[in-house]
Amino acid sequence: MLRLVLQPVIYHVDSAGGAMSERFPDMAKRAFSFLEGAGFRLTQIDASQLRYESVQAVVDIVWDARSGELEAFVGQPSSTRRPQDTYSLTDVFGMEGVPDRKMPPQVADENRLQPFVDQLAGDLRAHAQPALVGDRMFFRRLETFRHANAEAFTRRMKLQQVRSAVEQAWRNREFKKVIGLYTSVEGDLSEAEKGKLEYARRHQVD
Amino acid sequence: MIGELASALGWPTERQADGTLINPATGDDMTVLDRQRSLGLTVLSVVLPESRLVEGAAARGTTTVIGKVADLKNLAAGEKSLLSRLPNLGSPKANWAQNSGVLRQEMRLGQPIRDATVDSAGQLINNTGFLRAERNLLQCYGWCYNPSSTMWTPPVGP
């Protein structure tokens, strides 16, 4: 008589590179280990952030699990250590004109994070060398670039708000209001808007 | 009784014709009237979700601060971020739905909101991810940013 015996079988499943169960801090520590050979030491490590420091520079590697945003920041050592004293790799890419790198990657699934962490480490190595050796001129250029970008963003925001307020005022033929609004952003007006401002000036009633 | 409690917590309330109390800013019902007819008792219970308690604190002078997580670690006394009300729900879509909802609650209070992710001149930096979306939301609702104060202020009425 044939008896079929079923034995429990334990399968050991390994993902490629064993990365499936690895957490962000471990992945980042491994990918950025080149920093330790370049005079940096790991001074902070938690579930979402690693900080490396050397005499010349600091590097933060940050992963926001809620949005999935992954970014590296570089800065000069400072006693105040305000986060805004560091510059994102996205800013470095912008300044250096690296194409297709306008936004940091967003990877919410920690299991899929590994290649992006590796890419980030490679990018830092390739594009931020001057920052890693504390090149002051590089940081000054970064500050100027970031400030100009931020100013342009604030101007665009204001222009958008003015445009939407003017739309309403124009419909109501409130030319005094149109003049006030447009004058506050006169340098950023399009040709058509300059024409509208001129028209409002000619037709305003006190 | 509910009106006094709401007032103590700093909630604006308005009594409706049917006797219920609502928050005029949000339209939310402030009371749950549970008539225990079988016992001949009338029990009035107040819904006190955590968010409302935080709203109450905000109305009493706490400044809400938005920014990148690293910039929200060292807030001044009297300031609070939204982070404690934003547990990770597991997907960016669900997290953003939650985040935008909490930010809208704060916006409804009509108090200025500080932006902590700014450069030394107060200009907005690191405009990526959820922070970018939060700034867009504020802007869409007519809020204005002032680099001098680093505050977002609500639109003024007509």
Opening angle at CA B38, ends B37 and B43, nearest 5: 45
User: Under a CB-based contact definition with an 8 Å cutoff, are residues A59 and A35 in contact?
Assistant: yes
Q: Check residues A152 and B60 and name the one with the higher pLDDT.
A: A152
Nearest residue to A71 (alpha-carbon basis) of A111, A18, A128: A128
- Across the interface, of B130, B139, B142, the residue whose CB is closest to A66 is B130
Give the pLDDT confidence score for residue A138 in this predicted structure: 97
Residue the block writes with tokens 């008589």: A1
Residues of chain B contacting A84 with CB distance shorter than 8 Å: 71, 117-120, 125
Residue A61 CB burial class (10 angstroms; 0-12, 13-18, ≥19): buried
Give the pLDDT confidence score for residue B100 in this predicted structure: 97
Opening angle at CA A54, ends A53 and A56, nearest 5: 120
Give the pLDDT confidence score for residue A122 in this predicted structure: 96
Whole-number Å distance between alpha carbons of B31 and B35: 12
- Report, as ranges of residue numbers, the positions in chain A whose pLDDT lies below 70: 1-21, 79-81, 83, 205-206
Whole-number Å distance between alpha carbons of B43 and B33: 7
User: How is residue B125 written in tokens?
Assistant: 């930096």
What pLDDT digit, counting tens, does each position of A128-163 carry?
999 999 999 999 999 999 999 999 999 999 999 899
Domain boundaries along the sequence of chain A: 16-134, 148-203
- Across the interface, of B121, B126, B139, the residue whose CB is closest to A147 is B121
Asked if B20 is an interface residue toward chain A (Cβ–Cβ < 8 A), one would say no
User: How is residue A47 written in tokens?
Assistant: 């579930």
Query: Which candidate in B65, B66, B69 is best for mutational testing of the A interface (most A CBs within 10 A)?
Result: B69
CA A178 to chain B, closest CA, distance in angstroms equals 15
What pLDDT digit, counting tens, does each position of B5-43 carry?
344 334 444 444 444 444 444 444 443 333 333 333 333
Give the pLDDT confidence score for residue A3 in this predicted structure: 52
CA B23 to chain A, closest CA, distance in angstroms equals 29
Give the pLDDT confidence score for residue A81 in this predicted structure: 67
Nearest residue to A98 (alpha-carbon basis) of A86, A88, A112: A88
Which helix (H) or strand (E) segment holds residue A61: the answer is: strand A58-63
Per the prediction, chain B carries an average pLDDT of 73
Of all residues in chain B, what percent carry a pLDDT higher than 70?
A: 60
Which helix (H) or strand (E) segment holds residue A143: the answer is: helix A136-171
Q: Check residues B90 and B56 and name the one with the higher pLDDT.
A: B90
User: Under a CB-based contact definition with an 8 Å cutoff, are residues A104 and A68 in contact?
Assistant: no
> For A76-80, B95-99, B112-116, which range has the lowest pLDDT when averaged over its residues?
A76-80
User: Under a CB-based contact definition with an 8 Å cutoff, are residues A108 and A65 in contact?
Assistant: yes
| ipTM of this complex | 0.79
- The DSSP annotation for B36-72 comes to EGGGTEEEEEE---HHHHHHHHHHTTPEEEES-GGGG
Give the pLDDT confidence score for residue A206 in this predicted structure: 57
